[in-house]
Amino acid sequence: MTQIVAVVGAGELGTHAVLAREALKRAARALQLPITIEVQRPDGVLDALEPQTLAAADVVLLVGSAAAEPRFEHLRQHKASVADVLHDARSLLLQLAAEAPAAAPAPATLKIVAVTSCPTGIAHTFMAAEGLQQGAQALGHSIRVETQGSVGAQDALTPAEIAAADLVLIAADKQVELSRFAGKKVFQSPTKAAIGDGAGLIRRALAEARVQGGEAAAAGAPAAPTARTGVYKHLMTGVSFMLPFVVAGGLLIAIAFALGGIYVYEDVHQGTLGWTLFQIGAKGAFTLMVPALAGYIAYSIADRPGIAPGMTGGVIAGAIGAGFLGGIVAGFIAGYGALLLNRWIRLPRTLEGLKPVLILPLLATALTGLLMYYVVGAPAATLLAALTAWLQGMQGASAVVLGLLLGGMMAVDMGGPINKAAYVFGTTLIAANVTEPMAAVMCAGMTPPLALAVACKLLPSRFTPEEREAGNAAFVLGLAFVTEGAIPFAARDPLRVIPSLVAGSAVAGAICLAMGVQLKVPHGGVFVLPIPNAVTHLGAFFAALLAGTAVSVAALALAKRRAAAPAAA
């Protein structure tokens, strides 16, 4: 099969370059032709072609202002204008495939196993799985994907499937247990690469995968901490494990208030169902939030040796009043402490088994606890108290500015790092009993898919038939607070869609904070709002949601152009 790479340049018309890229991707997907596309825009290069991708390619398509370069010397080169691509990308790709020299023997079908996972385990997990499945099909390989979503692993890989695999591909934004893949070629990537170009990610994985260290059957031995990827991934791993405690605790407290009133926690109500549910939620689930956050941040960094010191540090953070900020610091101290101790301590082979069960937990827990009590505790507690006091005292302009910022962040990348940063800010503040930011975050996160669903109905000529069909699903996803429902629309027309969505989400967030809306549950969309006391000022929440949706729809009406009619067959 012809391996095509394309370089799209449009000079000062960066929007046209993005549109040409999307046209080529759609045509290649329909023809089942593998293609990797680099976009040269005035502000920089997007998705630059990697050397291994060029080495595997047969032909390069130079579109618009893209010019021949030394790196393309070994490839057949074909020139086309942006207009040619936008008019009929399918015919252009067919021509390239027809001009290909006699095909070399087809590569053997490889067996690939994959795991996809994201912090909330809802949309990106399954979108990444779909991208990998489509990419493997296009390349002629077989693939089995395990999705580690919000309800645990689905389609779990069996030991036999792992043993028979030629490649293990991990597309995840949080830490995934790797010990079962010991001895296999493993490649790790964020979910974004799998969603955007599954075939390209598989080609890259085949070229760059490395053998995972350790022994698959070595129970209790710490897995080699390969390919750790930064503070963000470690924090997201901790947040993903913390979220169930926040959700369960918040809902139980809301139900307790509904049954026994806002003073249900007082001793006069002791023994009642409402009082008991409050104890379970507040004294049980909420108490474990910060230890879970700290413990699994440490786990992401140092694997199993980090869990005990991380959770202990989280308990200490709660005891000394350092809250979630102290818990985050404790998680990183415990994780990197355990990781360094594991590297520094060398024991005879006969004593290595003591490290994960005795030596590392003891030393890392002592190190974390001492630093929390003597160094980190007081500053973290002071900072948390100041942050809490400022947020609880916000009024007028300060509340509006924070709402605009949080709301806009939710729509910038719709599930990416900026979106998740705002979401983590809202969820972790629930532990400090500051619930207004969470209301702004959820309302602003619901706005983008809802606005696009409404716009598809009111402005059908601005959207393709595929987009209008996707609008129905986007409406349900928006109601459920799955911002990722807007991604397909943003990918097709980012320069018009994303600013329109940011404007509406910023308005929704600002209205929520300005009107003092509080939300005790960090997920669920409209499906958790009817629960008594889950949200305060329910009318204001819906007013903010409607206003934000209306602003985005109006912006889309101004920015979006009429969708191009499909080319004649």
Q: Which residues contact 332 (CB under 8 A, 6 or more apart)?
A: 231, 234, 297, 298, 301
- Is 525:466 a contact under the CB 8 Å cutoff? no
Question: Residues 151, 152, 153, CA angle at the centre, nearest 5°?
Answer: 135
**Element spanning 234, H or E:** helix 230-260
Q: How many other CB atoms are there within 10 angstroms of residue 502's CB atom? A: 22
Amino acid sitting at position 234: H
Catalytic choice (118, 443, 456, 512): 118
Tokens 């593998």, residue located: 34
Q: For 442-508, give the secondary structure using H, E and C.
A: HHHHHHHHHHHHHHHHHCHHHCCHHHHHHHHHHHHHHHCCCHHHHHHHHHHCHHHHHHHHHHHHHHH
Q: Distance of CA 316 to CAs 122, 323, 343, 401, 497, Å?
A: 32, 9, 26, 34, 46
Alpha helices (H) in 395-435, listed in sequence order = 397-412, 417-430
Distance of CA 522 to the CA centre of its chain: 16
Amino acid sitting at position 531: I
Query: Which SS3 state, helix, strand or coil, does residue 61 take?
Result: strand
Q: What is the DSSP letter of 523?
A: S
Amino acid sitting at position 522: P
What are the φ/ψ torsions at residue 486 (nearest 5 degrees)? -90, -10
CA–CA dist 403, 400 (Å, integer) = 5
115 bridge partner residues: 146, 170
**Token pair belonging to 105:** 């023997």
Amino acid sitting at position 557: A
CA–CA dist 106, 39 (Å, integer) = 29
What are the φ/ψ torsions at residue 515 (nearest 5 degrees)? -95, 5
CA–CA dist 135, 447 (Å, integer) = 31
Q: Which residues contact 202 (CB under 8 A, 6 or more apart)?
A: 112, 132, 135, 136, 139, 141, 167, 169
- Is 42:12 a contact under the CB 8 Å cutoff? yes
**Token pair belonging to 95:** 């021509």
Q: What is the dihedral of CA 442, 444, 449, 454, to 10 degrees?
A: 120
Amino acid sitting at position 477: L
What are the φ/ψ torsions at residue 435 (nearest 5 degrees)? -110, -5
Picking from 111, 119, 116, 112, the residue whose alpha carbon sits closest to that of residue 127 is 116
Reply yes or no on whether 118 is catalytic.
yes
Residue 219: half-sphere exposure toward Cβ, Cα within 13 Å? 0
Catalytic residues: 118
